[in-house]
Chains A and B, each alone.
Chain A
Amino acid sequence: MQTVSCEMLSGESLLKMTIFGDVISTNVDELQKKVTEVLQGTSVSQGGWNQFVLNLTSARMIDSLGLNLILSIVKKMKINEANIKILIANSTVHRTFLATRMDKIAEIELVES
């Protein structure tokens, strides 16, 4: 089952990473490995993109360990000085991001699922 995917869009100026499902303590280690693999992929590592979108619209739950993973991804992407946006569809996940002030380090967008 696919857990993480990455694609280059808008003429290679936008990098979109999708994490499928919840991001929680019991799967963060596996997701961390997948994210690392994906980011080391040729097209991603070559750079050239200036927008990064993290798609979390299929997540119903993200716990504190999951937030840590998101945080580490965002920090890694910030090195490229890209605009970062996180897409969320679940209202509880959205509220959790606001409560933990994730909106201070990335634009959080609540989208319809």
Chain B
Amino acid sequence: MELDNSKQKTRILAVDDDPFTLETVRLVLKRRDLEVAVASTAEDAMNILSEQGTDAFDAVITDFRMPGMSGLDLLSWISNYDTTLGTIILTGEGEREVVMSSFRRGACDFLEKPFKPGDLRNAIAHAMKVTQDRRNTEETFSELEAIGVLQKKLTGGSSTVESGRSRQMGDFIVSTAVFPIRESGGDFYKFYPLGPRRIMFVCGDVSGHDLKAGFISAYFQGIVHGMVEMGGHVQRICEFFNRLLVQDWNQESLQNGVMVSLSCGFVVLDLDKGYAQGFCHGAPLPGLWSMEHGVQTVGSSGSPLGWMEPLLDYSGRMRISERGCCVVWTDGLEDLAKDLHLNPYALAYVLSYPSDERPIRRLLSRRHDDVMVLHVQWGKRVDDPSLPDLSVPIFRDRYSGDTGNRIDFYQADWEKNIQAVLPLLPLNKLQEIILCIREAILNGLEHGCGGQGQLACRITMALDEGASLFYIRVDDDGRGFQQEPLVDIESTTPWEHVSLGTAIIKCYAQKVEYFDSGSTLLMTFRVGEIKEANSTTTPT
């Protein structure tokens, strides 16, 4: 590596109690037009750095063994004071432990004494480069934070950290959870109330987390905001922005190979007309939950904005129930869920409805991208206490009809996800619920689907607002049947396990309902009182 001498006033601080070493360092670096300040102890070096400022230097080289404080102590002090300054430690031959310790204290390189002038020059050049890169990055982060603030002011949306923020918007209750990697760019969302019973919301993700991504995110949100105010149609807005990216931004980017894309999903909910409409361009599809229909996704996903023209319309529309919940997330949540071996709906719930018993910091430490999830509920009726609270989906999966032999694997997945959502659920209660799910799924696969691979069985789990009622809905593609619990065990033949399964489910579930001739089973379990009982004995 060669030293870059083009920069003016490049300064190095050399620290060693040995005057000969200091003089050698000074002479070698002076030949490269580098200015060298010297200190004979770590304490002297700290004084110099405090007085002149760490940003007055481009690298520090320090001996390990010195009277008083050691070189490692100096490195610790520097890393507490300025994380950008590149440092090098001088060690004796074979002092591997010192080298390892120095790296833990932020050193970017080491040199063994005695060293050759070329090695010194290379190490200094490396440290200077590290300093420069770190300072550039820090500057960029500061600018990104400023853009994030501007973004929020301009659009009223959010890209800053939010955890389980709930508020009422007309007849809708919205909950948002946003965990960005940076303050700007990345994931964003925005709600547009179109009346007390009509709402539109958008969430999206820009490729990259740099200044350009932050700018494009703010620009898109501004355009959407303006066009929605003017009554613009969602698909036309997306087509307009896609054209902008493809023809202007990415045409130029093709030269250097770095294209920009923006994934977005829009949802319109209209309670008076009773429909939901989804427009997805590269974003995960919105999930619509209702007790009557389970979880259904709306629309199909097309390519992200910025990839190609024309932008095809993959929007979809479906009827919604009087009470339900729409869940939308960006791909960062799906990636994190995969990493944690959790169902995305379970992770979405845990992040959106945090509590003392469900700490989320450990989960989020595994994320590599922005994570964002929105829950929009409707149908809360304070005037009718007979209605149960609104519920939120926490698990959804689909099993091919010929996979009954994988039931143990499925069971482990249910257990893991239920425990993530309800960590205080007593083991015996968990076992009861799991046994009922197992019976319902086995029944769906073996009898509903007849073991045929082209048919499937679907499961959705949901939890009410107070986490007191737990709903499990199992649907299969079969024609359905309904079997009463067995009456005479003595007469049961070995193949009549359906009766036994039904008896088991009716024993444990608070409520059991069959629909569509039994091809849909809805089980309700009471879990709330157990949670309350536990909370009195469990230390917080």
Which residues in A have some Cβ–Cβ distance to B below 8 Å? 24-26, 60-61, 63-65, 67-68, 71-72, 90-92, 95-96, 98-102, 104-105
On chain B, the number of residues with a Cβ less than 8 Å from chain A's Cβ atoms is: 28
Which of A26, A92, A98, A101 is within 8 Å of B431, CB to CB? A92
- The 7 A-B pairs with the shortest beta carbon distances in the complex, nearest first, are A99-B507, A64-B497, A64-B500, A64-B501, A92-B431, A101-B489, A100-B503
**What are 28 contact pairs spanning A and B, CB under 8 A?**
A24-B407, A25-B404, A25-B442, A26-B407, A61-B431, A61-B434, A61-B435, A63-B435, A64-B442, A64-B500, A64-B504, A67-B497, A68-B492, A71-B489, A71-B494, A72-B494, A92-B431, A92-B432, A92-B435, A95-B508, A96-B435, A99-B503, A100-B486, A100-B500, A101-B503, A102-B489, A104-B489, A105-B489
CB distance from A40 to the nearest CB of B (A): 19
Report A-chain residues with C-beta under 8 Å of the C-beta of B486.
100-101
Report A-chain residues with C-beta under 8 Å of the C-beta of B407.
24-26
CA of A26 to CA of B407 in the docked complex: distance in angstroms?
A: 8
Number of A-B contacts (CB under 8 A): 74
Which of A60, A63, A71 is within 8 Å of B439, CB to CB? A63
Task: Specify the main secondary structure of chain A where it touches its partner.
Answer: helix
Q: Which of B460-496 contact A (CB under 8 A)?
A: 486, 489-490, 492, 494-496
Closest residue to A101 on the B side, CB-wise? B489
Are A71 and B431 interface neighbours, CB within 8 A?
no
Are B432 and A67 interface neighbours, CB within 8 A?
no
Q: Is B428 an interface residue (CB 8 A)?
A: yes
CB distance from B390 to the nearest CB of A (A): 30
Are A95 and B507 interface neighbours, CB within 8 A?
yes
Q: Is B267 an interface residue (CB 8 A)?
A: no
Report B-chain residues with C-beta under 8 Å of the C-beta of A95.
432, 507-508
CA of A61 to CA of B427 in the docked complex: distance in angstroms?
A: 12
Which residue, B486, B500, B506, B508, has most C-beta atoms of chain A within 10 A? B500
Report A-chain residues with C-beta under 8 Å of the C-beta of B489.
71, 100-102, 104-105
With contact pairs A68-B500, A96-B507, A101-B489 given, residues A63 and B442 touching in the complex (Cβ less than 8 Å): yes
Q: Is B323 an interface residue (CB 8 A)?
A: no
